[in-house]
Structure 1
C-alpha cells in the first residue's frame, strides 16, 4: 500500500472475525522496494520471467490501471459509478466521467448519477481527500445531513499520490516517460476490464451470483 495509515486500519479490532484479522500484515510500496533491493541485490543478476497473468489476462502491466482514469486515487470510485449506471440505471457512461469539483481545490468532488426517466431517483457519489474534507464529511454524517450514497475518503491531500509510503523516484525523466506510456496506452483499457475481474473472482471464490 502507498499509505502508512493502512497499518493502523489493519490492526483495528473491528476488522477481525473470531479473533482472526482480515489482513495479517501491511507493507508500504517503499518497504516492498527496500525488501526487493536487499533480497535480490544487484537486481541486474535476477533472471527475467514473464508477467504473472492470473489477474491480468492480456492486459499486461496495464492491468492495475485499467479501472478508470490514470489518477492516484479515484479509480474504484469511477468503477463503482459506471457499475451502478449500467446495472441499476441501464445505461453506460461515456469514456470520460466528469466529476464536479466542490470548493477551491480539487480534493473534494462529486458525481450525480441520474435515473434514465424523468422524476426517477438519483445517486450521489463523492471523493474527499485531505483531513479537512474528511472532517466535513464526518460532521455531515454525524448531523444526519450527508447526501452521498458512496464516498471515497483519503487522509492525504491529492489522494494516494501523496501517500507517505510511496516509492520516491529521483530520476524525473524516467517517471515522466513511464507515465506518458501508460497515458497513451491506458485509454484503450477501460470498462471492459471489469469482465476479466468478474471471471477471476468467480474462478477463485465460486461466486456464481456475480454477473
Structure 2
C-alpha cells in the first residue's frame, strides 16, 4: 500500500496513518474474548473485529496472540499487586480477626471487578495445556501474589498456631474458589438468593474466603 504523503510503501503489519492505539480498550476486548473462548479458540482477527480495529494494528504492537495475551495478564497482575500491597500496608495495625476479614473482602472485591479475568484464570488452570502461558501466569501473577500474601497470613498466625493447610495450597485454592464463584454468579442466582443481592453477595463470598485463609 502506498502512502501518498510520503510516496513509500507502508511496512507490513504497521498501522495505517491516523489509526490510534487505545491500549486499555483493546486489552479489555482481548480479555473478554480470551475469557469467553479460551486462548486456542480466540484469534487476533476475532479480537480486532470486536474492537473495531485493523488486525495489523494488533500485530504491530503485540507481535502475536501470545504477546497480546501476555500483556492482558501483565496489566491485571501489575495493577492487582500494587493495590494489594498498598492495602496490606494500610491494614497492618489491625487485630488479626479484622485484618483477615478485610484481606478476604479486598480479594473478593478485586476479583469481582474483573470477573472475566477470573474466568480466564479458571480456564487456564483447568486446561494447563501450554507451559509458556503457565510460566507467565506463575511468574507475573501467582508468585508475586504469594510473595505479599503469605507474610501477611503468617503474621495472623504469629501466636504459634500452625495452619491446618499447606500455605500455598490454601492461598491458591482460595483464589481459585473465589474466582470460580464470582465468574459463575449468573448461574448461582438460580440456586441461592444471596447471589442476587449485591452487598450480601460479596459479604458471603468474603466470609467463605476468610474461613479458608484461616485454616
TM surpasses 0.5: no
Flag the structure with larger Rg: 2
